[in-house]
Amino acid sequence: MSTTTADEVVAHDGMSGLVDDWSADKQAYHVPWGKIMMWIFLVSDTFIFSCFLVGYLNVRITTTEPWPPQSEIFALSFGGDPIPLILIAIMTFVLITSSGTMAMAVNYGYRKDKAKTFWLICATAAFGATFVGMQMFEWSKLIFDEGVRPWGNPFGAPQFGSVFFMVTGFHGMHVSIGVIYLLWVAFRVKRGYYDNKGFEIVEIAGLYWHFVDLVWVFIFAFFYLL
C-alpha cells in the first residue's frame, strides 16, 4: 500500500492552487481577435503616414525655392478680409468633436443601449462626411481658384502641390472609408446583430476613428502650421 507524505500533499495542493490561479487570471489577458487585427493595421498605417510626413519635412527643408505661404493660400473670406487657416481650423474642430461622439458611442455600446449607440455613431459619421465635404471644397478652391497642381503651383516650390494632394488625399480616403465603416456598424447595431455577440465591434471601429483623428492633428501641425 502506497502512502502519501505531508510534503507530497503540500506539493500537490500548491500545484493545484497554481493551476486554479492561472485559470482564474487567464481571461484577464484575453484580447479579442478583431481588436488585435485592428491594432496591427493601425501600426502599419502609422508607418505609412510617418513616411509621408518625414518625406514632406525632407522636401520642405531641401527645396531651393521658397515654400508657399500656407496662411495666405488657405485663407478664406466671409465677406471681409481673408482669415488665415479658418477653414482648416473648422475642419480640425469637426474631426476632434467626432472623436467625442465616437467615445460616447463606445460607452453606450458596452451598456447595450442600442438607440444611443446608433445615433452617436451616425453623428460621428456625419461629422466625418462634413470633414470630407470641406476638404473637397478646399481642394476645388486650390485647383480652380489658386491654380495649384500636383506638378506645380504659382506660389513657389513645385513640390508643394504633389505633397499636399498626396498627404491630405490619403488621409481623406481614410476618413471616407471610416464613414462607410461606421454607418455599416451603426445599422447592424440598430438591427440587433450584436445583441448576442457583444458590442466589441463598436470599440474596434472607435480605434480606427480615433487613429484617423490623431493623424489629422499631426498633418495640421506639420503641414499647415510649420
pLDDT tier, 29 (very low <50, low <70, confident <90, very high otherwise)? low
Residue 129 identity (one-letter amino acid): A
Q: Is residue 61 part of a domain?
A: yes
* Average pLDDT taken over every residue of the chain: 87
| Domain-located, residue 7 | no
112: domain CATH number is 1.20.120.80
Query: How many domains is the chain built from?
Result: 1
Which pLDDT belongs to residue 121?
A: 97
Residue 5: what pLDDT?
A: 58
- Residue 6 resides in a domain: no
Residues spanned by the domain of 108 = 32-225
> Quick one: pLDDT at residue 79?
74
Domain membership of residue 184 (yes or no) is yes
Does 119 score more than 90 pLDDT? Answer: yes
Contact at 8 Å (CB) between 40 and 34? no
Residue 10 has pLDDT above 50, yes or no: no
Looking at 9-23, 118-132, 197-211, which range is the least confident one? 9-23
Q: What pLDDT does residue 9 have?
A: 43
User: Band of the pLDDT at 170, cuts 50, 70, 90?
Assistant: very high
Inside any domain, residue 187: yes
Instruction: Round the CA-based radius of gyration of the chain to a whole number and report it.
Output: 25
Quick one: pLDDT at residue 145? 87
Statement: residue 144 has pLDDT above 50? yes
Does residue 123 sit within a domain?
yes
Q: 3-state secondary structure string, the chain?
A: CCCCCHHHHHHHHHHHHHHHHHHHHHHHHCCCHHHHHHHHHHHHHHHHHHHHHHHHHHHHHHCCCCCCCHHHHCCECCCCCCECCHHHHHHHHHHHHHHHHHHHHHHHHHCCCHHHHHHHHHHHHHHHHHHHHHHHHHHHHHHHHCCCECCECCCCCCHHHHHHHHHHHHHHHHHHHHHHHHHHHHHHHHCCCCCCCCCHHHHHHHHHHHHHHHHHHHHHHHHHHC
pLDDT in tens, 89-115: 999 999 999 999 999 999 999 998 999
Of 179 and 1, the structure prediction assigns the larger pLDDT to 179
In a domain, 13, yes or no: no
User: Residue 4 domain-assigned?
Assistant: no
pLDDT value of position 50: 95
Block residue for cell numbers 446583430: 193
User: Quick one: pLDDT at residue 152?
Assistant: 80
- Predicted model pTM: 0.84
